[in-house]
Amino acid sequence: MPRADVKICGIATAADYDVCARAGARWIGMVFFPKSSRHLSLEVAAALANHADSYTGDRPERVALTVDMADDALDAVIQASRPDYIQLHGNETPDRAKAIKARFNVSIIKALRIGTASDLDVCSTWDTIADWLLLDAKSASSDMPGGTGHSFDWRLLSSYKGMSNWMLAGGLKPDNVTEAISMTGARALDVSSGVESALGKKDHGLIRSFIRAAEMG
């Protein structure tokens, strides 16, 4: 079974970044959403970006996670974090995503919340707009659009044939990676709470275990 690329979302420290880079993560995510325990200040984000730029090994691509953020706030986030991708994790429309790409010249990851098969219908509206789709579980709380550790029925993706690149998110952890890949055929995985020892605190051992499991497929 082919390996899956990994995005470790919600890192907070230079040590988090180093572990992700050394373990082989393709992406790291920085969260800019004040209601999240993983929210970063612009000062911390800038320090992380500077550390990442000085890293001498292979560098994961940086993702800035935002939720329905206005242009002036995006300006500040992009200046601080200098991301390769903006992750839109709110109710952003395709037109809004097009405007962000045009204004900031940055790649887009669009998170879509999945609960039933019909929720996959919207994926086609993002073809040619989003560089990646992130298929996440619907959250019971409107205050927290993701990062809750809940999963959806992965069987819904067993015959999914969307055109866009996509990654699986929601409820992933080291001991269910193999099952997730087998059931969905995912070639990319996004994890946050599944590699934490406490809310918002990344566990470096779990990060290494998760990426190792994804590499084994």
Q: Is the pLDDT of residue 150 over 90?
A: no
Tell me: the pLDDT tens digits for 181-197? 999 999 999 999 999 99
pLDDT at position 130: 97
Average pLDDT of span 23-38? 97
Average pLDDT of span 202-206? 98
Tell me: the pLDDT tens digits for 34-48? 999 999 999 999 999
Q: Taking the domains of the chain in order of start, what are their residue ranges? A: 5-216
pTM beyond cutoff 0.85: yes
DSSP the chain: ----EEEEE---SHHHHHHHHHHT-SEEEEE--TTSTTB--HHHHHHHHHHHHH--S--PEEEEEESS--HHHHHHHHHHH--SEEEE-SS--HHHHHHHHHHH--EEEEEEEESSGGGGGGGGGGTTT-SEEEEEEPPS-TT--S-S-----GGGGTT---SS-EEEESS--GGGHHHHHHHH--SEEEESGGGEEETTEE-HHHHHHHHHHHHH-
Tell me: the pLDDT tens digits for 86-110? 999 999 999 999 999 999 999 999 9
Q: What mean pLDDT value characterizes the chain?
A: 93
In the CATH hierarchy, which fold is given to the domain comprising 5-216? TIM Barrel (3.20.20)
Q: Is the pLDDT of residue 144 over 90?
A: no
pLDDT at position 134: 98
Q: Is the pLDDT of residue 142 over 80?
A: no
Average pLDDT of span 116-145? 86
